[in-house]
Structure 1
């Protein structure tokens, strides 16, 4: 095993490299790409990699194809996410997760590109997507390896930089906007392919055990008075999350990302300046209320000081970005998603921000050498060793929700 390499803000470990032999189905996919890209001669360099806690349910690989075509010397850099065998993630349908991401890259992303191209949306105003390649099996996602172009992620324990948050919120607004545009331009497709998409979470006994397990870590971060408040909230955490995902009567809905957090948003820097972000990881797509994506992004990725300074501005930025994006399609945001409804839904669903924060923070703050094996272990029995920096994050989270009257 090679030593860890530091790549911008995220820890990146090469597990094996050079002449690493890919599993046969993955090699078949690479052979298909080699043929489609027109290589006459080529060599490949394969690496098995880890994101040190950024990904829990997949085997990750990098493949560099170098060679010549009829016209030029060429290099193709590929990132592979492959479903692990024997995953014990009982609260998610993993096969459906991979089907969902394949649906996005093989079908929906093509439609979204076509929609944006026909509207002549400038490069800097588009919803950004990673180039994808066809895979030979449904358990594999094959993408352009943007790490080779300088893209990286914010480390999961860090508060996201303001510029990163701003660009990410703009992209989120465009993602939601595209859903409403798709509904308008292709109503039958939307009715058959998008509206039926439900969240894949299974709210079962293991989910409740996971809630109970994570609370043993978060309770220790606060004083006795706040522990009492958290214990009063804990019995309704599962119902809170379930309600927000599945009870949408009367809510304006669209296609939602479902896992819109810092680890699933690639960023590119020019020196210290973040210039571009690209969302990835579409395994948890579902049809629901768009405010939930915004809340899911904010609370696991920021601290109390950040929210005090920037939360209201980011809400304004989301809505204005949606307004500007829909203008390209001659759609008025107040007709599609009135600001009053956005604010009502935000207040109605804010308690889910507390639930997300309490459930995700202990995992995000797990030390690199103690990352739980979500693929092999029952999630109800997962234990972690959070970094001490988690304490302040949880205290700020609890303090905000006490101030807002939810605790």
Structure 2
């Protein structure tokens, strides 16, 4: 039996049979995986001996559905380390939260493992063939079935950053993200449906939105800005636990409007978009990578954009640019599809209508985020004042989202969502 080591962040002497700390994977597995698929690793290792490999959990307990380890590989005669990331699905943190909140596990082990497997399948079956979609490279993937699941991938640490939820992308960044999405959707519009369709018909995030763990945060919102949210919450109240509502407004609307299905990302939140960085560490306008493809599903071509614009972008900027961004995405899809010898059989008006329905679901989701993302639990007075000040900007974004969601809600036939 191969030797094991204690869970720690200490460096390991190079014995390739040793398991990396806290993982079921050996140094040998890491190195063989990189040898097979990482040209940069092979370039460096060709003339330089590896003398040390170390691993550290960079999530530090914050990851609800996975642990992410930074793997640092030290070469003789080389400064610094060569780094990759290893993502392993875990259910412990999420299931504990669910049980504490509601005594149930509607988002359970099966949910998390299915999400991991979907991401593995995306990187293995689809990602290598999608042109002009910026992604991290996946060097090896193992689905979670009889063996532990894992994704070994490129590290962009030090090269890219997220835009924090309390800040907003600028207009150039918004248009660049729309270009990324157009590449994704055009690929699946040009790919025979039978090669991908029917495999991911369930929008898994719906189960999370209707769980007590999520919607219980909505009732905390009025205390944060009295008088701003009570009326809107009262109107949306009937929908916050309705799978029918979320399924229609996020996904099934495309069927009623005659839009073709595409494979969508499913979770276009700030943490899942990495932006390139400038020499001064500020965010550049270019997307470095769209990450976390765990919730891919067959669905509506506009829902990812609605999610991004509602969750990530301040309301004033979104209101000014949203339909210009939507039109750019549509026109770029039309061009890419035409360049592949095909024709798009839907209009801009159709996707505009779908987008407005998607906004309603995103508005309801936004009502829970301030309590979920800006908790004051365990903070001292100084920390509390910082978080409250940061939260204030986000509350304005939520208020704008709620107002626009209420406006779009009246356009939806009630029999579709009640």
Question: Structure 1 length normalisation: TM-score?
Answer: 0.76
Deviations 1:215-273 (A, max 9, x none): 12222345547413311212213332132345353342111110112210111123554
- Count matched residues: 355
Is residue 207 of structure 1 aligned with residue 210 of structure 2? Answer: yes
Distance 1:308 1:34 in 2: 45
Query: Do the aligned partners of 1:29 and 1:135 also contact (CA within 8 Å) in 2?
Result: no
SS of 1:238's partner is: coil
| Distance in 2 separating the partners of 1:156 and 1:368 | 19
Give the match for residue 155 of structure 1: 164
Where 1:247 maps in the other structure, the secondary structure is: helix
Aligned to 2:274: 266
- Cα distance 1:291–1:104, how it changes in 2: closer, same or farther (>3 A)? same
- The answer to whether 1:357 aligns with 2:366 is yes
Aligned to 1:134, the other structure's residue is in SS state strand
Deviation at 1:361, TM superposition (A): 4.1
Partner of 1:25, secondary structure, is coil
1:285 positional shift: 0.5
332, 335, 339: which is aligned to 2:348?
Answer: 339
Secondary structure, counterpart of 2:180 in structure 1: helix
Match of 1:247 in 2: 252
Report the counterpart of residue 298 of structure 2 in structure 1.
287
Distance 1:226 1:262, change over 3 A: closer
Q: What residue is the counterpart of 2:67 in the other structure?
A: 59
Cα distance in 1 for residues equivalent to 2:340 and 2:80: 38
Q: How far off is 1:367 after superposition?
A: 6.1
Task: Write the deviation string for residues 124-163 of structure 1: whole angstroms up to 9, x where unpaired.
Answer: xx11221111145632121100124x11111122222322
Q: Which of 112, 128, 147 in structure 2 is aligned with 1:94?
A: 112
User: 1:318: how far off?
Assistant: 1.7
Alignment correspondent of 1:143: 153
* Distance apart, 1:34 and its partner CA: 5.0
- Structure 2: where are the runs of 5+ without partners? 1-6, 13-19, 99-104, 380-386, 412-418
Match of 1:218 in 2: 221
| 2:228/2:399 contact within 8 Å kept | no
Structure 1 residues 202 and 299 mapped into 2: Cα distance closer, same or farther (>3 Å)?
closer
Q: Which has the higher contact order (CA 8 A, sep 6+)?
A: 1
Bigger Cα Rg: 2
**Contact in 1 for aligned 2:136/2:154 (Cα 8 Å):** yes
Cα distance per residue 1:313-349 (max 9 Å; x no partner): 222222223223323312333x2x3212112212333
Deviation of residue 56 (structure 1)?
2.9
Note the residue ranges of structure 1 that are not aligned, 5 or more in a row.
Answer: 1-14, 117-125, 371-384
Distance in 2, matches of 1:254 and 1:46, equals 37
SS state at 2:120 partner? helix
Equivalent of residue 128 in structure 1, options 125, 131, 134: 134
Among 230, 235, 238, the alignment partner of 1:235 is 238
| Counterpart position of 2:397 | 393
CA distance in 2, matches of 1:263, 1:338: 31
152-161 vs 85-94, which moves further? 85-94
Pairing 1:23–2:22 present = yes
Find the counterpart in structure 2 of residue 380 from structure 1: none
SS in structure 2 at match of 1:158: coil
Instruction: Find the aligned partners of 2:190 and 2:354 in 1 and give their Cα distance.
Output: 21
